[in-house]
Amino acid sequence: MTTSTPLNPALTQWTGHEGLPRFDLVRDEDFAPAFDAAFREHEAEIDAIAGNPAAPTFENTIVALEIAGDGLSRVSSIFWNKAGADTNETIQALERDIAPKMSRHYSKIGMNAALFKRIDTLWQGRQALGFDLEATRVLERHWKGFVKSGAKLEKPEQERLAGINEKLAGIGAKFGQNVLADEKSWVLFLESEEQLAGLQDFLRDAMAAVAEDRGQKGKYAVTLSRSIIEPFLTFSDNRELREQAFRAWIARGENGGDTDNRGLIAEMLALRAEKAKLLGYENFASLKLDDTMAKTPAAVNGLLMQVWEKAVARAREEEAELARLIADEGRNHDVMPWDWRHYAEKLRAEKFNFSEGELKPYLQLEKIIEACFDVAKRLFGITATEKKGVAAYHPDVRVFEIRDPAGKLVALFLGDYFARPSKRSGAWMSSFQSQHKLKLKNGAEGELPIIYNVCNFAKPAEGKPALLSLDDARTLFHEFGHALHGMLSNVTYPSVSGTGVSRDFVELPSQLYEHWLTVPEILKRYAVHYQTGEPMPQALLDKVLAARTFNSGFATVEFTSSALVDMAYHTAEAIAEPMALEANKLNEIGMPRSIVMRHRSPHFLHVFSGDGYSAGYYSYMWSEVLDADAFAAFEETGNAFDPVMAARLKDNIYSVGGSVDPEDAYKAFRGKLPSPDAMLAKKGLAA
């Protein structure tokens, strides 16, 4: 594609509803020339800042950096959204090209000696210059970012670091595409009643809809989408089919051929270790943890092992109960990973006299979305109104206006809820535009946050409601908690807006928000039967609340083993064979044979599809320590929507982004930092 290709203004000039992009005017072939132009424009802006003959000031250096690259940000946000949520072969090929180009572009900026000299001058003189707290945080973020980009290295080391970053970007893109390819290519079609034995109507409906989408009307499709595979493993009475599906699920990225990720993992780990050494760190984990609450690998492993010992002990007790159920059925096999969910569901029915299948008719997607919005209104005073007919990036995506108590528009929110083959697995929040108050080159004063959530719930057949599991409903609340972090942001500078916080603090607003799903008055109002409209019976509600810690050993072992392997990868001296390290680490900590990691290495997207949660998967648990303690603050008042606590939560957690040190932010809300006790109690793992 030549640079003379006409540029599509829809990528950078957003003229849709309240400033949304006009997604309907964007074509795949528009991205390559738009990126080329945006790179050039941003480079010119950087050169102007670095070459400014005036003495460096916060305004002409830091603020100028904050608003530079607007065109690149806009093109990137649309492209990466499409790459994750609605990709195709053209986009994937471009992703493999753009990821290393993007890395090269930012490496060049990070190693710009004249630019760093200006930033360093401000940083060294910051005491005398009298910056306020937010400005100081922004300056520190830029200074540390440049240092970690190699600004202080000699030229040969800078060039090597840039090469490493570029290579890592390309590998990360390929890793994610390989997982998606394995997920898309595997499907198991079922027909006979013997094959469908045990499957509930809601699951049969979802599987039938998927099969029809794949040209197999009249059949039922098992896919590797979590919203299909997990309920199939839970309810299917056919052990042979459960094993077949489970083995395919955990083999994503490990099937040989072009989509095998094992070689990519080894290459990525070697490059990350080399990068850490170049920057003066003992290992990659030390580099990644330098600017977090945890600070060191020892602190992370200390928390993980404290929880691991309690979790594995509980899981052994749970396994013994499942083994009893298997024996009671006259079977003589051990509890294997493809058995756990199936027999745990039977154990839940025995212990609490209800099943996931009994619960699901009361958890309609539409009602859980309403519940999310209602909780936000009760806590923070905001309202959500859906705008029908507004074009988004896919027909399934819904657009909402978010307004404050005075009716002022404060954000746009897009909800993308259903699984499709063009979407990567999992659930996430991201933004097209972040909140800030700076004056832009186009004259605008600040920007409205445009936030989106992506989930992968099973899409129902035409005319039928989407029914969620309790885990699905928690996921929806979790991601909306992230969205609120972006939409309630009230800062001056873009780099510290919303979720621009340390990795082990970013999960606090999302995990905390999950707690309100199971507040009794919310469940009573929104957990209504999809056919009768009747609320969930009090007896069933009581059972759901009583069972909140059921199977917690299994869930905590699944997660903690993944986090421990992540840390092992990124603290090891040298790794010749990553899969051997995974196996050895699991053996060392005593991983039960009946459970597998929640994310085995070849499909561990958090850690290997980009740099986001590398040496950082632990952060979910670190934040869980905070969220359990934070919700306890509401419980102590006797009111889950206590207005005083809600105001403190908004002012000190949801609205400040990264403008305040996370420890200081938490202490301003709660008055103290927490211990793990509340988290362990929430999981039912307290001594």
Given this model, what pLDDT does residue 442 score?
A: 81
* pLDDT of residue 1 exceeding 50: no
Place of tokens 């982004």: 657
Given this model, what pLDDT does residue 580 score?
A: 96
3-class SS string, 288-316: HHCCCCCCCHHHHHHHHHHHHHHHHHHHH
Q: pLDDT tens across 429-487, in order?
A: 999 999 999 999 888 899 999 999 999 999 998 889 999 999 999 999 999 999 999 99
Residue 573 pLDDT level (bands cut at 50, 70, 90): confident
Instruction: Give the span between the Cα atoms of 542 and 524, in whole angstroms.
Output: 11
* pLDDT of residue 606 exceeding 60: yes
Are the C-beta atoms of 476 and 368 separated by less than 8 Å? yes
In the chain, where are the structural domains located? 9-110+112-152, 186-251, 361-546
Between strands 450-457 and 409-418, the pairing is parallel
Task: Look at the chain and count its residues.
Answer: 687
Residue 196 in tokens: 């469908």
Instruction: Give the span between the Cα atoms of 549 and 126, in whole angstroms.
Output: 49
Alpha-helical segments (H) within 572-659: 578-589, 605-608, 619-637, 643-649
Are the C-beta atoms of 524 and 536 separated by less than 8 Å? yes
Name the superfamily (CATH) of residues 9-110+112-152: Endopeptidase. Chain P; domain 1 (1.20.1050.40)
Neighbours of 13 (CB within 10 A): 12
Write the DSSP string, 176-201. HHHHHHHHHH--EEE-SHHHHTT--H
Instruction: Give the span between the Cα atoms of 536 and 526, in whole angstroms.
Output: 9
Instruction: Give the span between the Cα atoms of 563 and 503, in whole angstroms.
Output: 14
C-alpha Rg value of the chain to the nearest Å:
25
Q: pLDDT tens across 426-437, in order?
A: 999 999 999 999
At residue 635, the 3 state secondary structure works out as: helix
Write the DSSP string, 455-470. EEEPPPPTTS--B--H
* pLDDT of residue 504 exceeding 90: yes
Are the C-beta atoms of 456 and 476 separated by less than 8 Å? no
Instruction: Give the span between the Cα atoms of 72 and 37, in whole angstroms.
Output: 8
Residue 568 pLDDT level (bands cut at 50, 70, 90): very high
Residue 637 in tokens: 């008042």
Q: Residue type at 166?
A: E
Mean local confidence (pLDDT), 259-274: 97
Residue 495 in tokens: 């780099």
Instruction: Give the span between the Cα atoms of 317 and 622, in whole angstroms.
Output: 25
Identify the helix (H) or strand (E) that includes residue 450: strand 450-457
- Catalytic center residues: 479
Are the C-beta atoms of 434 and 489 separated by less than 8 Å? yes
From the DSSP assignment, how many helices (H) and strands (E) are in the chain? Answer: 30, 9
Given this model, what pLDDT does residue 2 score?
A: 41
Residue 4 pLDDT level (bands cut at 50, 70, 90): low
Mean local confidence (pLDDT), 584-600: 97
Given this model, what pLDDT does residue 3 score?
A: 45
Instruction: Give the span between the Cα atoms of 457 and 476, in whole angstroms.
Output: 10
DSSP state of 58: I
> Which residue(s) pair with 457 in the sheet?
418
Mean local confidence (pLDDT), 57-83: 97
Are the C-beta atoms of 651 and 134 separated by less than 8 Å? no
Instruction: Give the span between the Cα atoms of 224 and 184, in whole angstroms.
Output: 8
CATH topology of domain 361-546: Neurolysin; domain 3 (1.10.1370)
Are the C-beta atoms of 377 and 8 separated by less than 8 Å? no
Nearest Cα residue to 662 out of 379, 291, 301, 286: 291
Q: pLDDT tens across 372-382, in order?
A: 999 999 999 99
Average pLDDT of the chain to the nearest whole number: 96
0.75 exceeded by pTM: yes
Instruction: Give the span between the Cα atoms of 199 and 231, in whole angstroms.
Output: 8
Write the DSSP string, 140-179. HHHHHHHHHTTTTS-HHHHHHHHHHHHHHHHHHHHHHHHH
Instruction: Give the span between the Cα atoms of 451 and 497, in whole angstroms.
Output: 12
Place of tokens 């990525």: 268
Instruction: Give the span between the Cα atoms of 25 and 581, in whole angstroms.
Output: 48
At residue 336, the 3 state secondary structure works out as: coil
Nearest Cα residue to 198 out of 223, 232, 172: 232
At how many degrees (to 10) do helices 337-352 and 297-328 cross? 70
Q: pLDDT tens across 293-341, in order?
A: 999 999 999 999 999 999 999 999 999 999 999 999 999 999 999 999 9
Instruction: Give the span between the Cα atoms of 391 and 23, in whole angstroms.
Output: 7
Instruction: Give the span between the Cα atoms of 510 and 658, in whole angstroms.
Output: 15
At residue 506, the 3 state secondary structure works out as: helix
Q: pLDDT tens across 103-147, in order?
A: 999 999 999 999 999 999 999 999 999 999 999 999 999 999 999
Q: What percent of the chain has pLDDT over 90?
A: 95
Write the DSSP string, 62-126. IIHHHHTTHHHHHHHHHHHHHHHHS--HHHHHHHHHHHHHHHHHHHHHHT-HHHHHHHHHHHHTH
Are the C-beta atoms of 88 and 28 separated by less than 8 Å? yes
Q: pLDDT tens across 198-231, in order?
A: 999 999 999 999 999 999 999 999 999 999 999 9
Nearest Cα residue to 359 out of 468, 282, 452: 468
Are the C-beta atoms of 522 and 497 separated by less than 8 Å? no
Distances (CA, A) of 519 to 112, 130, 241, 471, 530: 52, 46, 37, 15, 20
Residue 687 pLDDT level (bands cut at 50, 70, 90): low
